[in-house]
Amino acid sequence: MPLPRDYTGQACSLASSLEVIGERWTLLIVRDAIYGVRRFSDFLAHLGIPKAVLTERLAGLVAAGILERVPGPGGHDEYAITSKGQGLWPAMRALMAWGDQYYAGNGPRRLITHAACGTAVDAEGTCPACDVRVDLSDLAVAPGPGLAGVSPADPVSVALSRPHRMLEPLDTRPPVL
């Protein structure tokens, strides 16, 4: 018998939150949207997720108001993170810091830095150099010591191998030589 999709009988805000973001792949899609991923094909290439699952998760995130469909270049819709989706960032940052502490053998793959000064922020989102809590729009993602070889077949990983400001659309086009 398959597991139910809801937490019947759980009158709890955490259970309500998990009904929206608790399915496999969902938080990784939100993470990528915060990093600036906007195109279906880029989510697909970076996550290695089946198309049907990605389609379902994106539809659910749009229905929940976490992502929105916006017009993109060439007449193709893209996905942008909403302010409601951005509100997930503190919890996601805490989970990333926990994973870095306990599971990142060679160090974190990505560093979250204060865009103004380049200093890595702590798990609470504070820049130790500036002694300020940094807003999501003032953060950047940069390669960390645990970032190993990046596959050229994954345009998102290639783009994120260079520092990139959070929330800004990620340019996954190949570099012009």
pLDDT tier, 145 (very low <50, low <70, confident <90, very high otherwise): confident
Average pLDDT over residues 143-163: 85
Q: How far is Cα 150 from Cα 141, in angstroms, rounded to an integer?
A: 16
Burial of 12 (0-12, 13-18, 19+ CB in 10 A): exposed
Q: What residue spans of 22-77 are helical by DSSP H? A: 26-35, 40-47, 51-63
Predicted confidence (pLDDT) at residue 3 exceeds the cutoff of 60 = no
Q: How far is Cα 148 from Cα 132, in angstroms, rounded to an integer?
A: 31
Average pLDDT over residues 44-49: 94
Output the average pLDDT for the chain.
90
Predicted confidence (pLDDT) at residue 153 exceeds the cutoff of 90 = no
What are the structural domains, with CATH classification, of the chain? 13-83 (1.10.10.10), 86-165 (no CATH)
